[in-house]
Chain A
Amino acid sequence: MAGEVFRRFLGDHRRGLVGWSVAVAAVTAMYSSFWPTMADTTDLMEQYVDAMPGFAEAMGWSDMTTPEGYIDGTVLLLVPILMMVAAVGIGARAVAGDEEEGALELVMAYPVGRTSLLLQRFAATAVYTGVLGTVMFLVLLGLSPVLDLDIGAGHLAAACLATALNALCYGTAAFAIGAATGRRSLAIAGGAALAVIGYLGNTFALTIEDLEWMRFGSAFYYALDPDPLVNGVDPGYTAVLVAAPAVLVALGAAVFGRRDVLV
């Protein structure tokens, strides 16, 4: 009986997971594949960056002449957004979406406690996100020798871990809002709003001194600022990315345990 709800939820969403995996793999492969071309035209890119230093810094294009800098400015710019959208979607679906559709009603008439239900669905959300991170890692690992990326597997893994944890932070925000309110639209809007603030906080707000504090509320900052492709896993910042979902789930569970469901 243990883990049935977890397995069932993942099983019910494997189609979506396959779809998102294809998208993550495609974007990762497409952008990293331009590296050999980019490597031949570094002069042009440097001129471009020199012409618009503020914009380039905001986009993370400060160093497009090394493979790490290039992947950082392309793949690690787009895939975190893609993965975040997937995580917010599954997180909002996990409780609020199923509740609104009435799909929770039968499960909750079975001998399953509310906390257990919530934790199993969260575990499924985390694994879902983890699979996307793994797909990204495998694509980069596979293309690395072909494209002469010359980045170690450990550092690639660190970047993918950071990307997946970043997505999980926003997915869990949607999950927790959904668990607390039972409203899918609120869950999606809340998760998405936090992600937009976080994304801007770690990009454009950096160019405005008064807004620099915004980055501390941004999972993107904790995930990408330590430059995992160059430096590997940053234990402190990674701990923040693990702690945030844990706190959010605990808050969501506290409200979910007390409220009326399915009204």
Chain B
Amino acid sequence: MTAVGRAGVGPSPAIEISGLTKSYGRHRALGGVDLRVREGEVFGFLGPNGAGKTTTIRVLLDHIRRDAGEVSVLGRDPRTDGVALRREVGYLPGELSMTSRRPARDMLAFYARLRGGVPRAHIDELAARLDLDLKRPVRGLSKGNKQKVGLVQAFMHRPRLLILDEPTSGLDPLLQQEFLAMVREAREAGTTVFMSSHVLSEVHDAADRAAIIRDGRIVATEDMDALRARAVHEFSIRFAEPLGPGDAAEFSALDNVREVRADGDQLTCRVEGSPDALVKLAARRTVLLLSAVEPDLEELFFTHYNNGAQDAGTRDASGGEG
């Protein structure tokens, strides 16, 4: 059935979705999602808020029933085999509701019992890594600390598949790094990680591949290495002396440098892929300051698709902007 890999390369997919649709009344939330997540990979699920990320995830967990399409998670259909499937899944919701007056440890112990028991050492180890105080009541915790409780319960039983909805929201940068380390370790242990985000940087460092969803459809699926190689950064360089008239042309002549603008001692340009050539050319002069702006997600995906003129059809089919 759907669980069997069609391409015949690599292991069978951890998640396979084809033609998934879902409407709420007249609102079409998912208009035919196709997605394949390989076993053992870290997969970024990207898209603006309201694009259908959470709806898709909730279909995977059988919180929401699909209208049409095929869904297979770890070889099982969530509709008919939800309990067995969820035994092997760790899930972090996008919005965590925790109203209990009892300590975080109590709550985690309850969730551990729901799984039929989890070694306490796993919980303690994760809490220590995330610097979470398990003695405090969960309802009084800050957003970031609640997020930590959510992460602990998702990772604690070492699941085969982690489904994480906006996992780093509320975490400070240091803890985001710790979280990414946890994801990498889980991946090394063979866990498949499916994580959603509305910003690329959250999955940029951790993901092997990423898909972008827009208005209920997957509009692109990409290898992260290829995406990074193609990334267009905007560079800004300030030199010790004003640039001469011929200098801008010299920079423009570089293969992967575009939109060069020189203004006094300031030079701005866009660089696709490695900035090596730009840096070497700039280094012939005295550089006072060099800065680069991270490309944003939309730009990254859609410059490519606009060039290929594939985007037009997708935009038409998806209707108005959300």
Contacts and interface: CB of A to CB of B under 8 A. Distances in A.
A51 interface: no
Given A106-B91, A263-B58, 5 more contacts: A4-B110, A8-B110, A102-B95, A105-B97, A112-B86
A252 to B, nearest CB: 17
Interface in B85-112: 86-87, 89, 91, 93, 95-102, 110-111
Interface in B150-186: 150, 153
A101 B97 contact: yes
B83 A111 contact: yes
Contacts of A107: 114
Interface in B122-155: 150, 153
A135 B121 CA distance: 42
B279 interface: no
A106 B64 contact: no
B56 to A, nearest CB: 13
A12 interface: yes
Interface string A95-107: 0000001110111
Contacts of A38: none
Given A109-B93, A260-B64, A263-B24, A103 B99 contact: yes
- Say which size band chain A's interface belongs to: 20 to 34
Given A103-B99, A109-B89, A109-B93, A260 B63 contact: yes
A102 B97 contact: yes
B107 to A, nearest CB: 9
Interface in A110-135: 110-113
Contacts of A260: 24, 63-65
Given A101-B97, A263-B64, A111 B84 contact: yes
Nearest to A116: B83
A230 B84 CA distance: 53
B80 to A, nearest CB: 12
Contacts of A30: none
Contacts of B153: 106
Contacts of B28: none
B82 interface: yes
B206 interface: no
Interface of A: 1, 4-5, 8, 11-12, 15, 101-103, 105-113, 258-263
Contacts of A102: 93, 95-97
Interface of B: 24, 58, 61, 63-65, 82-84, 86-87, 89, 91, 93, 95-102, 110-111, 113-116, 150, 153
Contacts of B100: 12
Contacts of B61: 108-109
A1 B150 CA distance: 20
Given A109-B86, A113-B82, A4 B113 contact: yes
Contacts of B99: 101, 103
10 contacts: A8-B110, A15-B101, A101-B99, A105-B95, A106-B111, A109-B89, A110-B86, A110-B115, A111-B83, A111-B116
Contacts of A103: 97-99
A1 B116 contact: yes
A79 to B, nearest CB: 28
B292 to A, nearest CB: 40
A108 B93 CA distance: 11
B161 to A, nearest CB: 12
A12 B138 CA distance: 12
A11 B100 CA distance: 10
Given A102-B97, A107-B114, A113 B83 contact: yes
A4 B109 CA distance: 11
Given A111-B114, A111-B115, A106 B93 contact: yes
A99 to B, nearest CB: 10
Contacts of B98: 103
Contacts of A1: 113-116
